[in-house]
Structure 1
Amino acid sequence: MIKNYSDTLFDEMKLLAKFPEKSQLEGIKIHHDASPSIITAAKSLFDKGLITQTDGGYLTDSGFETVDHLHRVLATLS
């Protein structure tokens, strides 16, 4: 069975990949004039408890762990 993934999921993954993977003391800011898909992705990541603010902020502990896994997958596929 082939699983269909939403574009929003890929936007969330792209946004998570932008977070620094070495430190939880660095975050990102999503500006109000960012693309709607990025704004939606940030809100979704916040709702899932992976980032601290709806407009970016810092990774939560769960977010930091998720980013670690994401970077491993991306390194394997690269």
Structure 2
Amino acid sequence: MSYTPDLVAELEILALFNLGNTLEGLKVHHVAAPTAIAAVQRLFEKGLITQPDGGYLTSLGLDAAEHTQSLLTILTSLNVPETA
């Protein structure tokens, strides 16, 4: 399995959630990028968020967002040696 543009867009949305405050949700407005609007709709259909335009993370969504943000932290914090 590879990362498709749709999956990357969903991961980007999950990375936006504030894990420090589960009472803080997201609202994706109709003027947002079409890829973001579609990604939020798919996350809703998958049961990861509570509303088709954002809302709050579900229990499964919280798990997904935690994993997404942990992976992003790992990948961006590691020093990559320069190649010659």
Read off the aligned partner of 2:25 and give its amino acid letter.
G
In structure 1, distance between residues paired with 2:70 and 2:15: 11
> 1:14-29 counterparts in 2 under 5 A?
14-29=12-27
Uncovered stretches (5+) of structure 2, i.e. residues with no partner: 77-84
- How many residue pairs match? The answer is 76
Match of 2:6 in 1: 8
TM-score normalised over the length of structure 2? 0.85
Over residues 5-58 of structure 1, what are the superposed CA-to-partner deviations in whole Å (9 max), with x where a residue is unaligned?
Answer: 210100000011001111210001000111110010000000110000010000
Q: How far apart are 1:76 and its partner, in Å?
A: 0.8
Q: How far apart are 1:77 and its partner, in Å?
A: 0.4
Uncovered stretches (5+) of structure 1, i.e. residues with no partner: none
Bigger radius of gyration: 2
1:53 aligns with 2:38: no
Runs of at least 4 residues of structure 1 off by over 2 A? none
Report percent identity of matched pairs: 45
Read off the aligned partner of 2:69 and give its amino acid letter.
H
1:43 aligns with 2:41: yes
Q: How far apart are 1:72 and its partner, in Å?
A: 1.1
TM-score normalised over the length of structure 1? 0.92
